[in-house]
Structure 1
Amino acid sequence: MKIYFLLITIIQNIIAYEQSVRVTGRLMCHGHPAQYAELQLVSKKIIGGDAFARDVFTDPDGYFDIAGYIDPSTWSKIDARLYIWHKCYEKPYEHSDPCSQWFEIGIPPINVNGGPLAQKEWNIGEIELKDRRSGQELTSCS
């Protein structure tokens, strides 16, 4: 039993380690700041569901700063994704509450940090939301 526990501990320390991600940027809608758009940082896992989920909203100038952390007990690497929900449509008059559009951006593994606090950030720059993206969807409107 002691050998089994020791073996599990060694494997966990080799495979699993603390990881973190930080993403910053600015969202725009028809050249104006996309105020209060919702962003969620998620790490997809093969087993056990999503590892972390952090929600933030853009500020009045459209800027955001979002970070997440996964502890070593999850036994998996970060497959980080940034989800963005917004109400910016190709034509401004198409807007109809409470519908939102959303899309995801995969975060390249090179932007994943070792440790619980992200030392480097991935600045995605400015994103114009009126431009449709591959995989963009409309949320169910109720």
Structure 2
Amino acid sequence: MKTIILIVLVIIWNTNAKEQSVRIKGRFTCHGLPAQYAEVQLVSKKIIGGDAFARDVFSDPSGAFEIAGYIDWSKYSKIDVRLYIWHNCFEKPYEQSDPCKNWFEFKVPNIFINDGTLAQKKWELGEVKLETPKYGKTLDACD
């Protein structure tokens, strides 16, 4: 009897679990200039089993970036996706000091989380001014 219940639960899970995807496009500036080579990471936060679909890209010489990823067998609700940004832009240009990096995160709104492996809806983040203080902005250790 326990085996039958287990098989039924696995079948229910497999029919309800689905793939979900995210696609984000934007551009970074630092004091009016393109923020070249800022690191962008897409992560799906999970309570159990650790984070999923960590994907890294860097902004191009014009400060632009586009990142996409998907996770399969996601839970029954929308995935909790975060966009992490690491950069060398400080509020005052003379504060910059390698190898220190500022970082912050955006929570991706649920309306931009797509069903399936190819994201149809794209979150157009627009221009992000990295020198502007952001809630939760943190300075990495400068070892």
Map Cα deviations across residues 68-95 of structure 1 (whole Å, 9 max, x no partner): 10001x4364100000000001110100
Q: Does the alignment pair 1:106 with 2:101?
A: no
Q: Does the alignment pair 1:4 with 2:3?
A: no
Structure 1: 4+ residue segments shifted above 4 A: none
Residue 9 of structure 1 and its aligned partner are, at CA, apart by 1.4
Residue 121 of structure 1 and its aligned partner are, at CA, apart by 0.6
Secondary structure at the counterpart of residue 18 of structure 1: strand
Paired with 2:47 and 2:126, the residues of 1 have a C-alpha distance of: 30
Match of 2:138 in 1: 137
Paired with 1:10 and 1:131, the residues of 2 have a C-alpha distance of: 47
Secondary structure at the counterpart of residue 52 of structure 2: coil
Cα-Cα RMSD: 1.2
Partners of 1:35 and 1:61 within 8 A in 2: yes
Match of 2:67 in 1: 66
Unaligned runs of 5+ in 1: none
- The 5-angstrom pairing of residues 1-142 of structure 1 reads 1-14=3-16, 16-72=17-73, 74-75=74-75, 77-142=78-143
Paired with 1:35 and 1:97, the residues of 2 have a C-alpha distance of: 15
Secondary structure at the counterpart of residue 89 of structure 1: coil
Residue 2 of structure 1 and its aligned partner are, at CA, apart by 4.1
Residue 3 of structure 1 and its aligned partner are, at CA, apart by 4.7
Paired with 1:139 and 1:24, the residues of 2 have a C-alpha distance of: 24
Which letter does structure 2 place at the counterpart of 1:75? K
Secondary structure at the counterpart of residue 120 of structure 2: coil
Q: Which is strand-richer, 1 or 2? A: 2
Paired with 2:135 and 2:38, the residues of 1 have a C-alpha distance of: 19
Partners of 1:12 and 1:75 within 8 A in 2: no
- Percent identity, aligned pairs only? 61
Paired with 2:9 and 2:97, the residues of 1 have a C-alpha distance of: 57
Secondary structure at the counterpart of residue 133 of structure 2: coil
Tell me the matched-pair count: 140
